[in-house]
Copies of this chain bind each other. A is one copy, B any other.
Amino acid sequence: MVYKKGFSTYIMGDCPSVLSYASVASKKESQGPLAKYFDILCEDTTFGEQTWEKAESRMQKDAANKALEKAKLSQKDIDLVLAGDLLNQCTGSTFGLRDFGIPYLGIYGACSTMAESIAVSSLLLEGGVIKKALAVTSSHFCSAERQYRFPLEYGGVRPPSSQWTVTGAGAVILAANNQVSPFVKAVTIGTIEDLGVKDANNMGAAMAPAAAKTLCNFFHDTMTSPSAYDMIITGDLGVIGSKLLNELMEREGYSIINNHADCGVLIYDIEKQDVHSGGSGCGCCASVLSSYILPAIRKGKLKNVLFVATGALLSTTSIQQGEAIPGIAHLVYFSGNDNKELI
């Protein structure tokens, strides 16, 4: 890797490899267009547990174990696990991965967690510090609703700009120089961006500026343009945030309209499933990435993909105190080849 001061993009020398991936999803996701791609699909949203929070932990545990099983690895083979989620104090991850015995780095990136954990894993693999890392995250509609909005029993009306928290989890195992596609060719670490959006029912608008900033940084740092990539897939901007992102990118001179997709738009049938602007939550892009995107790269159906997961860095307290919603977006560039050229 060549270090360049002031650049937030890190271009890999020996590309870390995505060894394995696994996804878990639930009832609503089983009715959506990606249903057939998930590894574990459990229509019982409790996953056999006593509370929604324990169900969320269970999803992380199941996703991580499935990824290990697919890679024919045991927990002892993993040097580091990087995980986080949206529950207060990230307890979805703590309790989900408590029994794994793997050295544990808790991270917090809201819905950008999957990209943050893969990006940090990649940097540590590229630096020769570790050989194998496990990145995990999750979200659960019911645990998110009662923590961020209203108890489910209240039956609150959702505005059209709101998004539906995905009940799902994703786990990705990364390895150094493993010669199996997909490869991580570059990562861009995001900065906190805040354009003053204060509507907690319009997260897409709050996060779009962060996605635009990170994408512009990536194109600048790599001297490439959007057309070089098969797909630029954002985390969970939804319909409204995606439209905004496209406008912001046009303003910066980058047209992504032809190859942009959004995990929050892909995971549900927006018209039929009553999800308003689309899916959201850490589990949204995590489950879409590990069920639909990474396998497509491995099979050669997609070649060069920019995965840009966005997070809204709010809390109920920050909203009550009148703060705006800062956003952040981390980018991981996955490719089907590890040749020395970037594309």
Complex Cα distance A6/B50, Å? 34
Q: Does A8 contact B (CB under 8 A)?
A: yes
In-complex Cβ contact of A108 among B107, B314, B316, B318 (8 A)? B107
B129 with A317: CB separation less than 8 A: no
Complex Cα distance A103/B50, Å? 39
Contacts A129-B123, A326-B98 given; does A90 touch B103 at CB 8 Å: no
Q: Does A259 contact B (CB under 8 A)?
A: no
In-complex Cβ contact of A89 among B116, B192, B313 (8 A)? B313
Complex Cα distance A22/B328, Å? 26
Question: What's the minimum C-beta distance from A60 to chain B, rounded to whole angstroms?
Answer: 12
Question: Which B residues touch A84, using CB under 8 A?
Answer: 106, 108
Q: For chain A, give the interface size range.
A: 35 or more
A94 with B126: CB separation less than 8 A: no
Closest to A315 in B: B89
Complex Cα distance A8/B316, Å? 36
Question: What's the minimum C-beta distance from A317 to chain B, rounded to whole angstroms?
Answer: 6
A110 with B124: CB separation less than 8 A: no
Complex Cα distance A98/B1, Å? 28
| Cβ < 8 Å to B, chain A residues 94-119 | 94-95, 97-98, 100-110, 116
What 1/0 mask marks residues of chain A from 217 to 252 whose CB sits below 8 Å from any chain B CB? 000000000000000000000000000000000000
B313 with A94: CB separation less than 8 A: yes
What 1/0 mask marks residues of chain A from 315 to 335 whose CB sits below 8 Å from any chain B CB? 111100101001010000000
Q: Does A257 contact B (CB under 8 A)?
A: no
Complex Cα distance A1/B124, Å? 12
Q: Does A297 contact B (CB under 8 A)?
A: no
In-complex Cβ contact of A76 among B6, B80, B105, B127 (8 A)? B6
Q: Does A180 contact B (CB under 8 A)?
A: no
A91 with B314: CB separation less than 8 A: yes
Contacts A80-B189, A127-B123, A131-B5 given; does A108 touch B88 at CB 8 Å: no
Question: What's the minimum C-beta distance from A80 to chain B, rounded to whole angstroms?
Answer: 6
Question: Which B residues touch A54, using CB under 8 A?
Answer: 321
A104 with B192: CB separation less than 8 A: yes
Question: What's the minimum C-beta distance from A72 to chain B, rounded to whole angstroms?
Answer: 16
Contacts A10-B129, A98-B194 given; does A88 touch B315 at CB 8 Å: yes
A53 with B88: CB separation less than 8 A: no
| Cβ < 8 Å to B, chain A residues 294-315 | 313-315
Question: What's the minimum C-beta distance from A96 to chain B, rounded to whole angstroms?
Answer: 10
Question: Which B residues touch A123, using CB under 8 A?
Answer: 124, 127, 129
Complex Cα distance A5/B80, Å? 11
Q: Does A197 contact B (CB under 8 A)?
A: no
What 1/0 mask marks residues of chain A from 44 to 55 whose CB sits below 8 Å from any chain B CB? 000000110110
Instruction: For the A-B complex with A3-B130, A94-B326, A104-B191 known, give 9 more contacts whose Cβ atoms are closer than 8 Å.
Output: A3-B129, A87-B317, A88-B316, A89-B318, A94-B313, A95-B326, A105-B116, A106-B313, A108-B108
